[in-house]
Structure 1
């Protein structure tokens, strides 16, 4: 039976990140564009293509390290967060004291990722929301064929970003980043137990998950507004637990518009998640609305604004996440 499962899933081996073209700043033709993924890839697996396929990934060169996903400012590149989040959740529910994630080259046991380049601020922040200590175990990164030599430093930046987000909750994430040692080889895959049969079933699934390839994410249905927001930022918003105090500032850089705005559509056109929407008023004039939860802080709108009428606000009150924010209301169309 297992052989049949492996044969059916073989085509999904080492999937490249999902690329959602409408979220790419190159596709949105934002001023300055973006080359973060191309510049970051340690294996020269990412090239620029024509409009409509601005990012092209060579599946033969891609190792699935996730470093391009980690730096993508708009969520155009992403991996499924379900498996690592479930590992953290299971460890917390099992009362094991901590959760761990380790890279495939570390030699440590427990839940494994191809590279800890897959770890994102959302994953760290959710561990904090669940009050589950998280240990991130890397291998010898200087000679690693999967990731890059500076993965540990990148991880520390990811943790810092997550902690900045969590500051408003008053409950920082408990995260340790270190190189795996011989004592980590016997780490177990922790699973939640809900009855004997469920335990056996879930344990079997977790063990199989260590050897079968992961499935790539399905394509985004752009006609569904909720799918336009990347999973990373949806989880960041959900991770704001315990709920911040009403007057607490939540670090979530996003745009504001001043009175030099000329009511052009550039900011809404370049927004990779359509967090900014532009509406014409029946009596004349324009309204700009910001869906803060959908904003990825890429600031393509700020760089692209012709009169430079947009500036960044770094902190917002919790109430700002509940309803669209009116950031521009003009009397007449220019």
Structure 2
């Protein structure tokens, strides 16, 4: 009976990604700005506008391929990760064969995304953390009306980024990116009974089908610090299991500040997730603090620093994720 229900899973939800203006480097007025989403969109659905309306997405032109989300350096554009993560986890619990995610145009069976452009490093890293082999199946991307011809290469780079994150854990993700074959049409949707009913509840429907359901994300409440961090980076931090050895370097690009700092507020002002905070001391001066787990590695701070006192550090010890990092302690402020 479960198989029959799953075969009727219907696609639903908003194809347009959520845009969170405070996370956008254009809205933050970072030096150099950013037009990655506009440059990447294969359907000219994204326009760059004035401050306050910096990113405008045409819902009629947007196909929901997710390629803009893949390249956004700060998480200003995002989709809900719940459905693909739940699918991967359920498949891992149901069978030793692992999980698969396929694009909607591939003709393959199994859980389907609109496009493999929706796959992010967090999804691949989570599969590695759960020990679930993951197969990513694409169709004829050169002729696809949804994504772009180079989607397989893009997804391969996503998988490589996830592997760099997982390297410190000693448990790499087992991921395979390939074109769908005729035998993939018979792939079954394998989810746990609990996962199936959870999907029904999330969808709010009587029937479910092969396409993974998605929910429109609510607006971010910026007054809540935990909501300032994109879901993608929250999941990346969660997937650092098994816990890396204390002396293992974890790949997580983030800024450091040197002694040429002039104690201005620019870095904290441009930070899209407020991972860098500038606290004024009662006795005078200021302290710069970094919440490493909230840093997306966009390096807007580095590009915007007037004296170029910031440089990137690519690897950190696991302990650095648990307490604020003191970047600068100064007795003067601008």
TM-score (norm: length of structure 2): 0.92
Deviation of residue 203 (structure 1)? Answer: 7.9
Alignment gaps of 5+ in structure 1: 1-8
Deviation of residue 209 (structure 1)? Answer: 4.7
Q: Is the 8 A contact 1:191 1:202 kept in 2?
A: no
Tell which deviates more after alignment, 141-150 or 87-96: 87-96
Deviation of residue 216 (structure 1)? Answer: 1.1
Deviation of residue 166 (structure 1)? Answer: 0.3
Alignment gaps of 5+ in structure 2: 1-9
* Distance (Å, rounded) in 2 between the aligned partners of 1:55 and 1:138: 29
Tell which deviates more after alignment, 292-301 or 279-288: 279-288
> Which secondary structure does the structure 2 equivalent of 1:313 belong to?
strand
> Is residue 2:284 matched to residue 1:269?
no
Alignment of 1:40-119 (within 5 A): 40-119=40-119
Matching residue of 2:279: 279
Number of residue pairs aligned between Structure 1 and Structure 2: 321
Q: Is the 8 A contact 2:84 2:212 kept in 1?
A: no
Deviations 1:10-44 (A, max 9, x none): 9x654200000000000000000000000000000
Matching residue of 1:148: 148
Deviation of residue 332 (structure 1)? Answer: 2.1
Alignment of 1:165-314 (within 5 A): 165-193=165-193, 198=194, 201=197, 208-210=208-210, 214-314=214-314
Q: 1:37 to 1:128 in 2, by over 3 A?
A: same
> Which secondary structure does the structure 1 equivalent of 2:37 belong to?
helix
Matching residue of 1:18: 18
Deviation of residue 239 (structure 1)? Answer: 0.3
Q: CA RMSD in A?
A: 1.8
* Distance (Å, rounded) in 2 between the aligned partners of 1:74 and 1:22: 10
Q: Is the 8 A contact 1:67 1:118 kept in 2?
A: yes
Deviation of residue 211 (structure 1)? Answer: 6.0
Q: 1:33 to 1:183 in 2, by over 3 A?
A: same
> Is residue 2:124 matched to residue 1:121?
no
Q: Is the 8 A contact 2:86 2:195 kept in 1?
A: no
* Distance (Å, rounded) in 2 between the aligned partners of 1:202 and 1:68: 29
Q: Is the 8 A contact 1:191 1:203 kept in 2?
A: no
* Distance (Å, rounded) in 2 between the aligned partners of 1:186 and 1:19: 37
* Distance (Å, rounded) in 2 between the aligned partners of 1:325 and 1:30: 22
Q: Is the 8 A contact 2:83 2:212 kept in 1?
A: no
> Which secondary structure does the structure 1 equivalent of 2:80 belong to?
coil
> Which secondary structure does the structure 2 equivalent of 1:75 belong to?
coil
Matching residue of 1:5: none
